[in-house]
């Protein structure tokens, strides 16, 4: 049986993993798809850089056209990253009738719908399982496994760097900066960690998940984002007392026809399935009307885990090739996007404030919450030794975001309030 | 577009869920598959029994031929349970060219390969996602999501009844009989719980998982089974001290070309992803050479969760129907079955024994372990007040099953040993 020929765009961490898996698991691939899989050409920037032993340097090229306009190549695997140039490459490949597998979350979050449309117009598959949560087959889980259900909520720990940092801060009682530095030394965080720690990476993945899970085209701009860089060890200590674990949660919620998508540090109750996801692991919690609670857990990054998702997608493309049904599995969104207003977004909140240690202060604060109809689930008032300051830690019952932001703003204006130290969303196990 | 017509065999818990989901999620189904789905006939035993409001009693029949030989019916959904008669029904349906979706683990564990062969011969799909772990899309996870990987280990909490019982025993410090009774009253355990508590139900599911995950035809008889009915609260108490959680674990392990499949009560280290799976929830932990650790978590039973898996399979069948590629996705096992001998099965063990409180007893016992080359990870020796008895709790390092069983047998013969109270496999997070 004629071999299927692959063109690989990029030979970094994931690309090397793809080469390894295609080589090491060739017998399983042949058994499943009935023919060999051969990497024919690999696009790299520098032809002379040292490469892993598995790579035949004769395959390397620095000219993308050797792949995109190579009639022998059936499938293009994109693991080079980047957006503008990469998008042009993939559009060109699709227009040449080549199927595409990509691991590129930035590209799919920004231009996924255009690329999927062009793929469909050209009868090509475009698969991107590896773009979200690395080795976890979550996109297939949503599209195929839960095909019959109506998904109403997704909560994702979809960034390994931040989960590693929060785990270490929580376990060892260390400060953010200290753990970040250690994570950088260990290779769990980039030299410039902004995209991870400020939640942008997670937001891109939530864009992809929400679009698929809610069958509604969600843009990156629709995702409200905040990161973990201002979280303190005090916050985590209070969380522990209250039975909460801090995670950076990508949150996608549908109520009726309206959705919200956000990324933010969140206190989860310790018995939430996501609370026990530690270190660099990822997990996506999916709530469906019929199925109830499910969770998909695994490595969110890394050479071989991510490459597993890429090559599993490749198996899907080749199965379709052999059945003659490529380009027919993508489903266009069913619904027009409708985003919730802030007045329709409900949550519980953790709030830590410093107030003057004076008579009547507590009454002022509680009456402000009462004015907006927000009541408390828990209140801790703790005297702080210096400067006649009290620290108050509150957990509210459900409040609309509008009301809660009004409360925060009026708290800031209260003469008795010295500082709002921190505020986080709180999610309990039961919805 | 012409509707797809379904014949439903059985209208119990899962069957009613299937009717509900097809009705409630019709718009999503139509969007995905481009045509309506209609339940045309439902086989029941008693035509006059009271039925849920959703069911049009005009569809009921007590004659299977009204479905199996009904030319209008495209897909047969089997949710009636049972083995012999059900198998004949499904063979008949497949031979009539009808695609089949089944939730029947007993049938698939015993006759899966024959049914799949007949399906393939007749160009029909036979899908059975709901047969393992209810609403969790684990079979697709193995077959599609991890298609490119070589799976070396699966550990499953695949029986909700036993997980509920063990969770309650552990949380509330109650005895097995007490919790079983409560579970029966709450509907989490059957009046005759044998199949669940003795591990047979889990064994059937592990047969299906191991066959798919290892691409090797595993028979139910290959699975070594022990249940939870002899576990005591003392065992769980000691486990807690050692940082272990007790779970009934379906264990499937591949080393080189050889496999072992078993079901047994197992102490997991508390930081194992499966340790936090509580109550009636199920989860399957999958270790792949490339992907590493993944876990799929969700409801293992229940009307709507299981029905979600059934109807998602139905979506798969109908997508294939519309692409004209039914009966071509089943992959026959790649490998000849090779089972490990007991001398090739390695594990750590927890052992609790009562011994005479005499000089030299401990030396006798430890020298017996030394004779078989088995060393200890942890030893607790605790005096028990009455009858001059000491209780010894040991955790071994890795031992072959052969050696360990020899040790148990020789311990029984030692005059100093009064009773072997309990012995369990121990699994730590790192492999």
Convert the pLDDT of each residue in A376-423 to its tens digit. Answer: 999 988 777 677 888 999 999 999 999 999 999 999 999 999 999 999
Residue A95 lies in a domain: yes
Report which of B149, B124, B160 is spatially closest to residue A314, judged by C-alpha positions.
Answer: B149
Instruction: Please tell me the predicted confidence (pLDDT) of residue A430.
Output: 58
Residue B431 pLDDT > 50: no
Q: Give me the domain span that covers residue B69.
A: 4-133+303-323
Phi, psi of A169 (to 5 degrees): -55, -40
Instruction: Please tell me the predicted confidence (pLDDT) of residue B37.
Output: 97
pLDDT averaged over chain A? 94
In chain B, how many domains are there?
3
Residue A355 lies in a domain: yes
What is the mean predicted confidence (pLDDT) over B227-233? 96
| B127 and B162, same domain (yes or no) | no
Residue A334 lies in a domain: no
What is the mean predicted confidence (pLDDT) over B184-210? 95
| B309 and B295, same domain (yes or no) | no
| A164 and A309, same domain (yes or no) | no
Looking at chain A, the whole-number percentage of residues with pLDDT higher than 90 is 90
At residue A399's C-alpha, the angle toward residues A393 and A400, to 5°, is: 135
For residue B31, which residues of chain A lie inside 8 Å, CB to CB? Answer: 215, 331, 334
Instruction: Please tell me the predicted confidence (pLDDT) of residue B52.
Output: 81
What is the mean predicted confidence (pLDDT) over A10-24? 95
- The answer to whether A86 and A80 are in contact (CB under 8 A) is yes
Phi, psi of B337 (to 5 degrees): -65, 130
Instruction: Please tell me the predicted confidence (pLDDT) of residue B383.
Output: 76
Instruction: Please tell me the predicted confidence (pLDDT) of residue A101.
Output: 98
Q: Note whether A239 contacts B: Cβ–Cβ < 8 A.
A: no
Catalytic residue among B205, B247, B340, B345: B205
Convert the pLDDT of each residue in A64-74 to its tens digit. Answer: 999 999 999 99
Looking at chain A, the whole-number percentage of residues with pLDDT higher than 70 is 99
Report which of B265, B201, B276, B278 is spatially closest to residue B236, judged by C-alpha positions.
Answer: B265
- The answer to whether A258 and B258 are in contact (CB under 8 A) is no
What is the mean predicted confidence (pLDDT) over B372-376? 96
Alpha-carbon distances of A300 from A9, A182, B253, rounded to whole Å = 21, 19, 24
pLDDT averaged over chain B? 94
Subunit contact A148:B17, Cβ cutoff 8 A: no
Residue A183 lies in a domain: yes
Instruction: Show which of B265, B299, B333 is a domain's final residue.
Output: B299
B314: enclosing H helix or E strand: helix B303-323
- Chain B closest CA to A103's CA: distance in Å? 14
| A266 and A314, same domain (yes or no) | no
Catalytic residue among A205, A340, A345, A348: A205
| B220 and B104, same domain (yes or no) | no
- The answer to whether B100 and B125 are in contact (CB under 8 A) is yes
Instruction: Please tell me the predicted confidence (pLDDT) of residue A329.
Output: 79
Q: Note whether B319 contacts A: Cβ–Cβ < 8 A.
A: yes
| A157 and A107, same domain (yes or no) | no
| A223 and A143, same domain (yes or no) | yes
In the structure, what pLDDT confidence band is assigned to residue A431 with cuts at 50, 70 and 90?
A: very low
Residue B331 pLDDT > 80: no
Instruction: Please tell me the predicted confidence (pLDDT) of residue A264.
Output: 98
Chain B residues 242-301 with CB within 8 Å of chain A: 271, 273, 276, 278, 281, 288-299
Report which of A59, A423, A297 is spatially closest to residue B283, judged by C-alpha positions.
Answer: A297
| B181 and B269, same domain (yes or no) | yes
- Quick one: DSSP state of residue B144? I
The ipTM value here is: 0.94
Radius of gyration in angstroms for the set of CA atoms belonging to chain A, rounded to a whole number: 24
Instruction: Show which of B290, B323, B356 is a domain's final residue.
Output: B323
- The answer to whether B183 and B168 are in contact (CB under 8 A) is yes
Q: Which ranges of B324-360 would DSSP assign to H, the alpha helix?
A: none
Instruction: Please tell me the predicted confidence (pLDDT) of residue B51.
Output: 87
Residue B328 lies in a domain: no
What is the mean predicted confidence (pLDDT) over B244-263? 97
Spatial separation of the C-alpha atoms in residues A415 and B366, rounded to whole Å: 72
Instruction: Please tell me the predicted confidence (pLDDT) of residue A22.
Output: 96
- Chain A closest CA to B64's CA: distance in Å? 26
- The domain that holds B293 is classified in CATH as 3.30.360.10
Catalytic-residue membership of B205? yes
Which among B138, B254, B308 is the top mutation candidate for probing chain A, defined by the most A β-carbons within 10 Å of its own β-carbon?
A: B308
Over the range B40-63, which residues count as b (16 or more CB within 10 Å of their CB) and which as e?
bbbbbeeeeeebeeebeeebbbee
Where is average pLDDT lowest: A8-12, A131-135, B41-45, B354-358?
B354-358
Instruction: Please tell me the predicted confidence (pLDDT) of residue B33.
Output: 92
What is the mean predicted confidence (pLDDT) over B49-57? 86
Instruction: Please tell me the predicted confidence (pLDDT) of residue B430.
Output: 58
Q: B233: Cβ–Cβ under 8 A, 6 or more apart, which residues?
A: B169, B173, B174, B175, B176
Instruction: Please tell me the predicted confidence (pLDDT) of residue A382.
Output: 79
What is the residue whose two structure tokens read 């991870």?
A: A196
Instruction: Please tell me the predicted confidence (pLDDT) of residue B75.
Output: 98
Instruction: Show which of B291, B323, B355 is a domain's final residue.
Output: B323
Q: What is the DSSP string of A184-241?
A: HHHTSS-SS-HHHHTTHHHHHHHHHHHHHHHTB---GGGEEE--STT--HHHHHHHHH
For residue A293, which residues of chain B lie inside 8 Å, CB to CB? Answer: 281, 297-299
Subunit contact A292:B307, Cβ cutoff 8 A: no
Residue B98 pLDDT > 80: yes
Residue A332 lies in a domain: no
Which among B136, B294, B328 is the top mutation candidate for probing chain A, defined by the most A β-carbons within 10 Å of its own β-carbon?
A: B294
Convert the pLDDT of each residue in B147-180 to its tens digit. Answer: 999 999 999 999 999 999 999 999 999 999 999 9
Instruction: Please tell me the predicted confidence (pLDDT) of residue A429.
Output: 78
| A19 and A107, same domain (yes or no) | yes
Instruction: Please tell me the predicted confidence (pLDDT) of residue A332.
Output: 84
Convert the pLDDT of each residue in B271-318 to its tens digit. Answer: 999 999 999 999 999 999 999 999 999 999 999 999 999 999 999 999
What is the mean predicted confidence (pLDDT) over B324-330? 87
Subunit contact B140:A145, Cβ cutoff 8 A: yes
- The answer to whether B124 and B326 are in contact (CB under 8 A) is yes
Residue B133 region, left (φ>0) first, then alpha (ψ -120 to 50), else beta? left
Where is average pLDDT lowest: A122-136, B208-222, B289-303, B374-388?
B374-388
- The domain that holds A417 is classified in CATH as 3.30.70.260
In the structure, what pLDDT confidence band is assigned to residue A358 with cuts at 50, 70 and 90?
A: confident
| B39 and B114, same domain (yes or no) | yes
Convert the pLDDT of each residue in A163-204 to its tens digit. Answer: 999 999 999 999 999 999 999 999 889 999 999 999 999 999
| B404 and B294, same domain (yes or no) | no
Convert the pLDDT of each residue in A93-127 to its tens digit. Answer: 999 999 999 999 999 999 999 999 999 999 999 99
Convert the pLDDT of each residue in A328-347 to its tens digit. Answer: 877 789 999 999 999 999 99
Subunit contact B149:A312, Cβ cutoff 8 A: yes
In the structure, what pLDDT confidence band is assigned to residue A237 with cuts at 50, 70 and 90?
A: very high
Residue B331 lies in a domain: no
| B311 and B190, same domain (yes or no) | no
Convert the pLDDT of each residue in A256-306 to its tens digit. Answer: 999 999 999 999 999 999 999 999 999 999 999 999 999 999 999 999 999
- The answer to whether A145 and A117 are in contact (CB under 8 A) is no
- The domain that holds B41 is classified in CATH as 3.40.50.720
Residue A329 lies in a domain: no
């Amino acid at each position: 049986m004629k071999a299927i020929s692959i063109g690989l765009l990029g030979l970094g961490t994931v690309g090397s993993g793809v080469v390894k898996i295609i080589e090491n698991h060739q017998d399983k691939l042949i058994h499943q798809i009935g023919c060999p899989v051969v990497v024919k050409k690999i696009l790299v920037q520098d032809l002379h850089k040292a490469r892993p032993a598995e790579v035949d340097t004769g395959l390397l090229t620095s000219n993308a056209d050797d792949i995109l306009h190579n009639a022998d190549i059936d499938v293009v695997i994109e693991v080079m990253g980047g957006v503008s140039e990469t998008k042009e490459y993939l559009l060109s490949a699709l227009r040449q009738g080549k199927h595409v597998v990509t691991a590129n979350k930035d590209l799919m979050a920004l231009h996924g719908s255009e690329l999927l449309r062009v793929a469909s117009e050209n009868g090509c598959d475009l698969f991107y399982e590896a773009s979200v949560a690395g080795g976890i087959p979550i996109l297939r889980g949503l599209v195929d496994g839960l095909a019959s259900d109506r998904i109403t909520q997704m909560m994702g720990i979809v960034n390994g760097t931040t989960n590693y940092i929060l785990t270490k801060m929580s376990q060892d009682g260390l400060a953010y900066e200290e753990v970040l530095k250690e994570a950088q030394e260990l290779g769990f965080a980039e030299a410039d960690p902004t995209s991870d720690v400020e939640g942008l990476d997670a937001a891109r993945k939530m864009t992809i998940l929400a679009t698929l899970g809610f069958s509604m085209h969600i843009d990156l701009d629709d995702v409200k984002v905040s990161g973990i860089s201002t979280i303190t060890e005090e916050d985590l200590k209070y969380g522990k007392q209250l039975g909460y674990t801090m995670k950076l949660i990508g949150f996608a919620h549908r109520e009726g026809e309206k959705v919200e998508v956000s990324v933010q540090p969140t206190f989860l109750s310790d018995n939430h399935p996501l609370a026990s996801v530690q270190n660099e692991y990822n997990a996506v919690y999916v709530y469906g009307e019929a199925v109830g609670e499910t969770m998909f857990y695994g490595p969110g990054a890394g050479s071989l885990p991510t490459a597993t998702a890429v090559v599993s997608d490749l198996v899907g493309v080749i199965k379709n090739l052999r059945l003659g049904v490529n380009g027919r599995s993508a489903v266009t969104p069913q619904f027009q996007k409708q985003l919730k207003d802030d007045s329709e977004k409900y949550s519980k909140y953790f709030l830590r404030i410093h107030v003057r240690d004076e008579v009547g202060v507590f009454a002022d604060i509680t009456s402000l919450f009462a004015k907006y109809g927000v009541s408390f689930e828990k209140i801790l008032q703790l005297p702080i030794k210096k400067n006649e300051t009290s620290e108050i830690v509150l957990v509210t019952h459900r409040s609309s975001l509008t009301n809660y932001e009004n409360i925060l703003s009026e708290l800031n204006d209260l003469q008795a309030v010295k500082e709002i130290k921190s505020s986080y969303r709180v999610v309990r196990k039961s919805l």
